[in-house]
Structure 1
Amino acid sequence: MQIKALKMRWASGGVNYSYLLSKLAPPSMNAPNWIIDPAEPLELKEQLTANELQSITTIVNTHHHYDHAGGNIVFAGLLTERKNPGFIIGSSLSQTIPTSEIRQPSDGQIFHLGEKVTVESIRTPCHTQDSVCYLVNDSELNEYAIFTGDTLFTAGCGRFFEGTGYEMFSSLNHILERTKCIWDKVKVYPGHEYTKSNVKFVRNKVWKNIGDNEAFDKLESLANKNEVLTGMFTLQDELNFNPFMRLNDPFVRKAVGDSENLLSEEEVMTKLRKLKDSF
């Protein structure tokens, strides 16, 4: 499979990612090819070859927010060789073309990108109630990837705009349950490049000193040297350095004022996200 990361809204501070997902490199006109969260069509057009653009069969959203789904209809208009591209969306809040095939995936639903490449939808309500992550498996190459939208970021998680700490805790664990035994193989592709800001928060509030968490120390070093970090880390890496996935870590508990371990994991999640929101 091929995953091409595409920048959007970096000049304005949004640091969004869209992704071209295809079975072949370069993408074939005769196989299903996805564009994920094409919020800024003109920016994306500049980064895609003519063949890549016209090969896209399906517009996919991780959730309905404008900086992920707001470009759906305009982007569809660029697909001049695909008069009615398909849509895979979390809810009716995402814009679509009425004449197109529109699918709102159920949890665990499987899609096929040609032979031996499957995509599983994982419902992850919290940031929005229609949030969907997409787990990709290329069985021929034994490769895995997950597109996490605004649910899971490198060393962070999304804001609880439509949900609660309990829902984010449950959603992140739902991802881990669906990927049990392959955490070290699943590369994470989030919806934004928030790594540097997340690292700054974590260093300031959680693992304050070098040596507190060696995995986080390595992440910090990489973040200082690289602008684009999407796809560099696995779910196992997140379990090693992401405080939102280490809610029983003594340093995380201390950061939220619970050195005596009196709070539930859901309560720690809520307090940690509030700490991040005000950072």
Structure 2
Amino acid sequence: MQIFHVPCLQDNYSYLIIDESSGDAAAVDPVEPDKVIGAAEQHGAQIKLVLTTHHHWDHAGGNEKIKQLVPGIKVYGGSLDKVKGCTDTVDNGDNLALGVNLNILALHTPCHTKGHISYYVTDKEGGNPAVFTGDTLFIAGCGRFFEGTAEQMHQSLCVTLASLPKPTQIYCGHEYTVKNLEFALTVEPDNEKIHQKLSWARRQVQAGLPTIPSTIEEELETNPFMRVDNPEIQEKVGCQTAIEVLREIRKMKDHWKG
């Protein structure tokens, strides 16, 4: 499995997932289809399907155009009605094949939007798995609760995604890492791993390089939204349960002026 970042718009990422054995590729949230198709051509791959994480325009807005540019392409998403250009719906637990070696498992991860899907990709040859989390899980952060509740986000982050193997690489929809880590330090000022990752992320951005991927293991160490069962965080924000903490720190982040 090869994965390539395709920077789009102001701070979005689309991704190209390639099965090296066949040259078949999947495009994740190809909001600027010309860029994604160009990347596929550069790597000698053919895009066979689109994986849409959710219906917001900066993720699904290129689907109709890529259908024109790649006749017959399948466009997967959580809703035929809401996801622009969607040809095939996926629900939690559905499996898709890419090429000869890759399996894609759809995971329903609602809250940012009701039908949000994350895509967990594994390689029969045993390479590290990857998960494409759209706007549910960011590096050191999570999406706003536009269509859901803290209970849903807790299930999505701390149950569904946190249960994936720790080496799983996380590819999210936006380059928000530096700001997210700066906020994380307001929640856990003494967390040395956050300090270290923030220094690294700043260097990456200054060099014009992505801060993505992270891993499930790193997020469990540095992402406050996945650490809501930590007694020190609960005490800091004055909440008794993990879901209350998640609700409270999302409110804090919404109003944070960092």
Q: Structure 2 length normalisation: TM-score?
A: 0.90
Partner Cα separation in structure 2 for residue 56 and residue 133 of structure 1: 19
1:35 and 2:27 correspond: yes
Contact 1:7 1:44 in 2 (8 A): no
Q: What pairs with 1:17-36 in structure 2 (closer than 5 Å)?
A: 17-24=13-20, 28=23, 31=24, 33-36=25-28
The alpha-carbon deviation at position 90 of structure 1 amounts to 1.0
Q: Which amino acid aligns with 1:136?
A: V
User: Greater CA deviation, 108-117 or 120-129?
Assistant: 108-117
Partner of 1:206 in structure 2?
A: 187
1:135 and 2:120 correspond: yes
Match 1:89 to one of 77, 84, 92: 77
Structure 1 residue ranges, 4+ long, deviating more than 6 angstroms after superposition: none
Q: What's the RMSD between the two structures over aligned residues?
A: 1.9
Contact 1:206 1:251 in 2 (8 A): no
Partner Cα separation in structure 2 for residue 95 and residue 54 of structure 1: 24
The alpha-carbon deviation at position 4 of structure 1 amounts to 0.6
Partner of 1:123 in structure 2?
A: 108
**Runs (5+) with no aligned partner, structure 1:** none
Quick one: structure 1 residues 256 and 53, their matched pair in 2 at CA, closer, same or farther if it must change by over 3 Å? Answer: farther
Quick one: structure 1 residues 53 and 24, their matched pair in 2 at CA, closer, same or farther if it must change by over 3 Å? Answer: closer
Quick one: structure 1 residues 49 and 248, their matched pair in 2 at CA, closer, same or farther if it must change by over 3 Å? Answer: closer
Quick one: structure 1 residues 248 and 176, their matched pair in 2 at CA, closer, same or farther if it must change by over 3 Å? Answer: closer
Partner of 1:176 in structure 2?
A: 162
Q: What pairs with 1:23-172 in structure 2 (closer than 5 Å)?
A: 23-24=19-20, 28=23, 31=24, 33-45=25-37, 48=39, 50=41, 55-79=46-70, 83-92=71-80, 93-96=82-85, 102-172=87-157
Contact 1:125 1:167 in 2 (8 A): yes
Match 1:195 to one of 173, 177, 183: 177
**Runs (5+) with no aligned partner, structure 2:** none
The alpha-carbon deviation at position 252 of structure 1 amounts to 2.3
Partner Cα separation in structure 2 for residue 125 and residue 236 of structure 1: 22
Percentage identity across aligned positions? 36
Partner of 1:270 in structure 2?
A: 247
Choose 1 or 2 for highest CA Rg: 1
Partner Cα separation in structure 2 for residue 55 and residue 44 of structure 1: 11
Deviation track 1:198-245 (CA, whole Å, cap 9, x = no partner) reads 012122x2122xxx11221221111110021111x2101100110001
Q: Structure 1 length normalisation: TM-score?
A: 0.84
The alpha-carbon deviation at position 111 of structure 1 amounts to 1.1
Partner Cα separation in structure 2 for residue 24 and residue 103 of structure 1: 25
Count, aligned residues: 250
Q: Which amino acid aligns with 1:8?
A: C
Partner of 2:6 in structure 1?
A: 6
The alpha-carbon deviation at position 43 of structure 1 amounts to 4.3
Partner Cα separation in structure 2 for residue 160 and residue 273 of structure 1: 8
The alpha-carbon deviation at position 76 of structure 1 amounts to 2.2
